[in-house]
Structure 1
Amino acid sequence: MRKTLLLLVPVLLLGACSWGITLDDAAKNVRTAWSGDVSSCRELGKVTVSVMNRVGPVDRNDIKVRDELEVLARNEAAKMHADTIKPLAEPADGSQPWGAYQCGANTVPPARSAAPAGSAPGNAQTFPIKGH
């Protein structure tokens, strides 16, 4: 019984890491310009967001950490009335700086192809999965 409990505790802790990190309604209108040009947009400021990238000695999944950082950045940008965010650096130790911009009618050129998935090799888009 005790061994089973000792094995279950780390699994439960790892699964609990992303509970509560959800995209706010206002943030659904905030786009991410991964490598798009935001020079025609008005810069509103910078936000730095962070999540746990380790649970004890265990590293969390890098993709999940990056997705959570993007969700948090979009939430913060929405509070600033921004409609676009752009990463300013790669994540480091669970933290990442983002620029918040108001582009309005100025559209940011897409960094990735707008073609449907599967139409050309190598063209894919990722989106945070609700509840994960």
Structure 2
Amino acid sequence: MIWREATRDDVPAIVAMLAADSLGASREVADPAAYLAAFDAMAAEGANLQIVAEDGGRVIACYQITFISGLSLQGTRRALVEGVRVAPELRGQGVGAQMFADAEARARAAGCRVMQLTTNAARTDAHRFYDRLGFTASHVGFKKTL
């Protein structure tokens, strides 16, 4: 398994993983145009990366990592991890732990001192996984659809 930056050709596999659960099934659509436009915008930003795991030529996991500079915590740079997915048939086999090892290495290389993520409140299995990795549920998050 190799972890690498995604290409446009990976977008359909990423979208399929985003849609492969009860939450994603209701909010992801089949039209690739919006996803390709978003991928191009992420690529243009430079500090916003889509990462995939490839095994035997097949994309089996993905995450997005965004590096954020800020003033709080004495100018601490942070890494925000989102869109974490592992192919359904490979869950529970250590791919997620390898994913976060890759994300942490990228965050450290980018000078980040904090790695943070959000997860849907309904994803209780994911919460236990993040706890095992050493994340703490230290904040309450809010979202507003615009």
Q: Same fold (TM over 0.5)?
A: no
More strand by share: 2
If asked which structure has higher relative contact order (CA below 8 Å, sep 6+), I would say: 1
User: Normalising by the residue count of structure 2, what TM-score does the alignment of the two structures yield?
Assistant: 0.25
User: Normalising by the residue count of structure 1, what TM-score does the alignment of the two structures yield?
Assistant: 0.27
Flag the structure with larger Rg.
1
More helix by share: 2
